[in-house]
Structure 1
């Protein structure tokens, strides 16, 4: 039998071993005999597995920009993710239509479903309260840097024989949702053989936005500026690379498309939310665009002006006219940015497919995209209501992490993560930890495991639990924690 060739479009799923592999093969054969799924490609199955997963549903109660907003029309992390998925599919189709041989893979069965899948999954690892939640989690570890990476406890003088490496410390002090996403879909979701959602190698490769470990993180290179995967998932990343032929630092070509669509979504659609909330009017945004030297002659500006003129001539009520104008602005801006992204991807395709070092994101130098990001920054991210909610959320996460940390470390047996908790509060907190997260921690913590590796696994369990929470759950839990007697 000839050796299988690595390919960017690898349909392989992670292997089972021994009896598990035999059972899985027998089960698959039985299913295939009774229910042929040949119409559904491996990558369409990947998308379906993600769509029906619990972490995707939790995104409906996670912040995009406006935490727990009363306006149902304002985006959550779930609506944002669906929009990114749809934009990614559209952009991939546009590129494939313009350059039919570029991908060397079927558009309907390979390219589109992978883009749908990675667009839907790209924010799954984000904690409550978005990027401010990530920052709060990182600060919690930074504030305990003097002891948490090197000794048994803050009050203990017992030090580990080997301090947790500087690189691994970055996984916590610079906590990021991207590597947590990979961990979530490959480790933490329940599976008979511990394979998470059991996604294909190509989908997982394209999901890896920053294809570097903490050791190779490089803030000067956009594609390497953050930790892309944790040490716990190194074996999975090695398997992905063996299947796809990718190496450390090399991005899957479809990742560039997903990243661009994330830029399109949060630049245009965050501004869309600003207009829906009445913070700025469509006319305000159009006026600002017209005042920008780089944009005043942009084709979409003229299209928006003409559309607004037609709306005014129709003499709708003020609120109806506003909503129609918002729709026109969104559509024309989206068309302009997708067209720009498609052209930039095609122009840089040679470098992208040869994995040239130092490539910029394909909308990095877009005047229109950068203008919209600035508008969102001025009107959304700097809004007092948003800043207040972020401050409350950050404080909630800080206290929740301390609450769960006590439940993790206050146990009878250091080498047994499941051993009895030693305080009432710890027992309560431990009862809230997801059983599948505990199982994954137990796999890493056993009798005889070195103290620094136990500590690493304990911290990983902490970030697993907190990052998986929704905004509402974390606020309710924070309220419960504050009501507990202090002792």
Structure 2
């Protein structure tokens, strides 16, 4: 029977269910979290940008700290909702199912992001956009047509490259496993990790949960199996995905501003003043609490440096508390629409506090000259690396076109191709038997290219580009 709480693993979906001895200590969802926590992609997040690329300040967040915070917030909201409305989770156990699932999808939600965050996604997409006149249809620029071109509806997988579908690909295929199952996570965890439950051809800019591609054509067969197992259909989100999305918004709004304050780009007094000056947030209870505490801090006569840090702590605590309350209340209020898969609006979209904090982050963090300078440097590195790896992937004799692992022709191509992870190469070769467009040589070449680039850390990308530039 299909259930959104299915704990059957990917490797079990093609087999008739058999009796198994449950782990007396950990549920399969707790095992999912453990598998993710100890995986290589999670460790790589420590050198991937949240806001401040390659920052020397150890107190500033990376994608790793951001992901742990999202996992923590998600678990908190799940616990809060379950304590008041357990029926919303259809009998799923809080400790064995809800909490570990939310922890797992919170930890995993950014695993597919390339170096330099969203700017990295943009740089990858731009590389394809500049070559769209031939790369999907021809052997090379001005060259003969491909035997199998990539259909128009799949171009968005590359031109609008996004880390979300790359996450699904990473944990289900690109991690080594004796049976080629990635981390072999449960059906429910994987379904809940799909933020946008549509393929590239079904994107809808007017629908917040379908505005981006949520899985690649390469994973279509897997997603179909997950849907049979969980009962979810195209365009239908898992219940817990709403909570994970809200926590990403909370972390982005509060904690990116928190980092800007820690770096001295904006002071906590400036943040409070901006909130008090805005009619949409001036009377918010969290703002009032912070204002009262600021007066107490100033009356305590602490040194300015210490008073600043104490104020930052109060802002962080009160804002997170207020937004967790908002998300929890919103989830409960939308329970019927969420259960019937008719809900469309993210839980934090009607939070004036969240929106104001996001605007402050955009103004003082994302638009900071230091951030923009490093993003420009990162974009240059990605552009150059994409070209170098494409040249290496495509550089083989015409008679070897169908063999993606064939010997490279040039010396530089041989070196660059040798840098590609064996995991990625194996998947690119095995996918030839997948059937459909995903088995075509060009599709597999482009997936291999994006697999390699998105898997890099910020530091690795910069250092490798500096090295390859010297070989030109």
**TM-score category, normalised to shorter length:** over 0.9
**Quick check: 1:13–1:199 contact (8 Å CA) kept in 2?**
yes
Tell me how far apart the structure 1 counterparts of residues 13 and 23 of structure 2 sit (CA, whole Å).
25
Q: Indicate yes or no: 2:240 matched with 1:246.
A: no
Tell me how far apart the structure 2 counterparts of residues 100 and 479 of structure 1 sit (CA, whole Å).
54
Selected match of 1:466 from 421, 433, 453: 453
Q: Indicate yes or no: 2:113 matched with 1:126.
A: yes
Q: Indicate yes or no: 2:404 matched with 1:417.
A: yes
1:15 alignment counterpart: 11
2:254 alignment counterpart: 268
- Following superposition, the deviation at residue 234 of structure 1 comes to 0.4
**Quick check: 1:219–1:225 contact (8 Å CA) kept in 2?**
yes
Tell me how far apart the structure 2 counterparts of residues 54 and 373 of structure 1 sit (CA, whole Å).
31
Selected match of 2:183 from 171, 191, 197: 197
Q: What residue ranges of structure 1 are gaps of 5+ in the alignment?
A: none
Selected match of 2:327 from 328, 338, 341: 341
1:427 alignment counterpart: 414
Q: Indicate yes or no: 2:444 matched with 1:444.
A: no
Selected match of 1:402 from 380, 387, 395: 387
Describe the SS at the equivalent of 2:456.
Answer: coil
Q: What residue ranges of structure 2 are gaps of 5+ in the alignment?
A: none
Structure 1 runs of 4+ with >6 Å offset:
448-452
1:87 alignment counterpart: 73
Higher mean C-alpha deviation, range 273-282 or range 313-322: 313-322
How far does the alpha carbon of each residue in 1:238-268 deviate from its partner, in whole angstroms, 9 at most, with x for none? Answer: 0110110000000001000000000000100
Classify 1:17/1:249 alpha carbon distance in 2 versus 1 (closer, same or farther; 3 Å).
closer
- Following superposition, the deviation at residue 17 of structure 1 comes to 9.6
How far does the alpha carbon of each residue in 1:15-56 deviate from its partner, in whole angstroms, 9 at most, with x for none? Answer: 3699xx89xx9xx98xx7xxx832100100000000000000
Equivalent residue runs for 1:16-415 within 5 Å: 37-104=23-90, 105-156=92-143, 158-356=144-342, 359-412=344-397, 413-415=400-402
Classify 1:272/1:451 alpha carbon distance in 2 versus 1 (closer, same or farther; 3 Å).
closer
**Quick check: 1:415–1:449 contact (8 Å CA) kept in 2?**
no
**Quick check: 1:164–1:452 contact (8 Å CA) kept in 2?**
no
**Quick check: 1:416–1:445 contact (8 Å CA) kept in 2?**
no
Cα root mean square deviation, aligned: 2.0
**Quick check: 1:85–1:117 contact (8 Å CA) kept in 2?**
yes
**Quick check: 2:432–2:439 contact (8 Å CA) kept in 1?**
no
Tell me how far apart the structure 1 counterparts of residues 187 and 300 of structure 2 sit (CA, whole Å).
53
**Quick check: 1:16–1:193 contact (8 Å CA) kept in 2?**
no
Q: Indicate yes or no: 2:449 matched with 1:453.
A: no
Describe the SS at the equivalent of 2:11.
Answer: coil
Tell me how far apart the structure 1 counterparts of residues 195 and 443 of structure 2 sit (CA, whole Å).
24
**Quick check: 2:197–2:237 contact (8 Å CA) kept in 1?**
yes
Tell me how far apart the structure 1 counterparts of residues 338 and 367 of structure 2 sit (CA, whole Å).
35
Tell me how far apart the structure 2 counterparts of residues 450 and 67 of structure 1 sit (CA, whole Å).
36
Tell me how far apart the structure 1 counterparts of residues 403 and 452 of structure 2 sit (CA, whole Å).
18
Aligned length: 468
- Following superposition, the deviation at residue 449 of structure 1 comes to 9.6
Tell me how far apart the structure 1 counterparts of residues 108 and 148 of structure 2 sit (CA, whole Å).
36
Describe the SS at the equivalent of 2:419.
Answer: coil
How far does the alpha carbon of each residue in 1:145-197 deviate from its partner, in whole angstroms, 9 at most, with x for none? Answer: 111011111141x1124431111111000000000000000010000000000
Tell me how far apart the structure 2 counterparts of residues 444 and 97 of structure 1 sit (CA, whole Å).
45
Tell me how far apart the structure 1 counterparts of residues 202 and 440 of structure 2 sit (CA, whole Å).
21
Tell me how far apart the structure 1 counterparts of residues 407 and 464 of structure 2 sit (CA, whole Å).
22
Tell me how far apart the structure 1 counterparts of residues 438 and 269 of structure 2 sit (CA, whole Å).
61
